[in-house]
Each structure stands twice: as structure tokens, then as C-alpha cells.
Amino acid sequence: MTAQELVNKAVEATRGSYSPYSGFTVGAALLCEDGEVFTAANVENASYSATMCGERNALFYAAAQGKRKFTAVAIVGGHGGKIEDFCPPCGVCRQAYSEFCSPDFKIYLYNGREIREYTLGQLLPESFDLIK
């Protein structure tokens, strides 16, 4: 699975976005160590704090199926479904990913033209944990 293939799946996943409040659609494609890919989108709520980010939906969806080892995630997002800028994961999502993913876990961002590759360690240095 190339970075571009994973990004393409994230772009496709934005179609599931439920974002009537912000109009900002997010899609994520999470690659498990066994090769399976889980995709998801952001799902908003009239009580705004009940909203769930696309990349966290993908992680929790996979984790709830028993997946525990992950290699990479591609995240895309934009206003009105247009992917024009990079959509870095929010702080809460970075923390959620750190529960399951090591510092070398890859995060691919895409602005419609180029892919940027980061590691979780770069985006969340000195992460908090209790059990590692």
C-alpha cells in the first residue's frame, strides 16, 4: 500500500462526512499492520462537543474490531469537500493515536497536490502514557 493509495482512500472516505455545522469534511484511511485498511469520516452533532473527528473514528472503528497494530494513517480535509490545504490531526486525535501507535507510526497529509509524511513522534513529542 503506497502513501498515494492510502491518501486516495482517505479522499474517498470524505464522502461519508456528516458535517452540516462546519461544512468541513474530513476523511481518514488507517492501515493496520496486517494490511487491512479502515476508513472513516468526521461525524458532527447539534451538541457540538459530541462531534467525532474522522481520524479518530477510523482508529476506534479498527480498535473495536480488535485491531491493535497500525502502520500509517492518511488524513485529508477541507471546506465544502474541497481539499486545498493540509489537515493535520487535532491534539486529541494525536493523543488517541498514541495509545496504540509507536513514535514511528506514519501520518500522511495531502493538500490536493502533494503528500507530506510525518511520524506520530514528530507531531506528538513527549506524549502522555500510563501503561507503556
**Taking the CB of residue 111, how many other CB atoms lie within 10 A of it?**
14
- Amino acid letter, 127: S
Window 4-23: residues binding ligand THU (CB under 6 A): 19, 22
Q: Which member of 53, 58, 59, 107 binds ligand THU (CB under 6 A)?
A: 53
26 binds ligand THU (CB under 6 A): yes
d(CA 129, CA 118): 21
How many CA atoms does the CB half-sphere of 81 hold within 13 Å?
A: 8
95 scored as a contact of ligand THU (CB under 6 A): no
The set of catalytic residues is 55
- Which residues are near ligand THU by CB under 6 A? 19, 22, 24, 26, 42, 44, 51, 53-55, 89-90, 93
